[in-house]
Amino acid sequence: MPPQTRRTHTKSRGGCLECKRRKLKCDEEKPVCSGCIKRSIRCEFAISRLPSTSRQPEDSGTSPVSLSAISSCDVSTPSRNGRPGILASPGMPSNEALSPSATTKTVGNFDMDDMALYHQFITETAATMGGPWVKEVPRLSISCDYLMHGMLSTAALHLAYLHPGQRGRYEFLSTQHRTLALGPFQQDLLSITPENCNQVLAFSGFMIIAQFAPSCPPEALFPSPSSSLYKGPANWIVCLRGCSSIVTQARRYMISGPLEGLISQGMQASALAREVTELPENEDFRSLQRISGEVLKLQSIKETTTVDEMESYIAAISWLQGLLAASLTTTDSLISRIFSSIWPTQVSDTFIRTLGEGRPPALIITAHYCLLLQRCYSCWYMEHRAYDLFKAIQQDLPTEWGPYIERMLATTLKQQGKVLISSLLFSASLNVSRIPYLVSGIASATRASWILPGAAHIRNVAL
Phi, psi angle pair for 84, to nearest 5°: -60, 140
Q: Supply the pTM of this predicted model.
A: 0.71
Q: How far apart are CA 228 and CA 222, in angstroms?
A: 14
At 443 the three-state DSSP class reads: helix
State whether 284 and 397 are in the same domain.
Answer: yes
Supply angle C-alpha 124, 125, 131, rounded to 5. 105
User: Which residue, of 216, 241, 258, is where some domain finishes?
Assistant: 258
Last residue of a domain, one of 239, 258, 277: 258
C-alpha distances in Å from residue 14, one per residue of 38, 108, 217, 366: 19, 20, 30, 42
The candidate with the shortest Cα–Cα distance to 243, out of 213, 217, 208, 276, is: 208
Q: Are residues 277 and 383 in the same domain?
A: yes
* Residue 91 confidence (pLDDT): 37
- The candidate with the shortest Cα–Cα distance to 270, out of 202, 343, 348, is 343
Domain-located, residue 356: yes
Report the domain count for the chain: 2
Same structural domain for residues 253 and 265?
Answer: no
Q: Which domain holds residue 86?
A: 68-258
The answer on 288 and 404 residing in a single domain is: yes
pLDDT digits (tens, 9 = 90+) for 305-348: 999 999 999 999 999 999 999 998 888 888 889 999 999 999 99
pLDDT in tens, 352-384: 999 999 999 999 999 999 999 998 888 999 988
184 three-class SS? helix
The CB density around residue 264, as the number of other CB atoms within 10 Å, is 12
* Rounded mean pLDDT, 275-279: 85
My answer on whether 283 and 360 are in the same domain is yes
For 20, 46, 74, 102, 187, the CA distances from 28, given in Å and listed in that order, are 11, 11, 17, 21, 17
Q: Which residues pair with 78 in a beta bridge?
A: 84
Whether residue 236 sits in one domain with residue 131: yes
Between 70-84, 150-164, 255-269, the lowest mean confidence (pLDDT) is in 70-84
Same-domain status, 396 and 348: yes
**89 with 151, same domain?**
yes
Inside any domain, residue 459: no
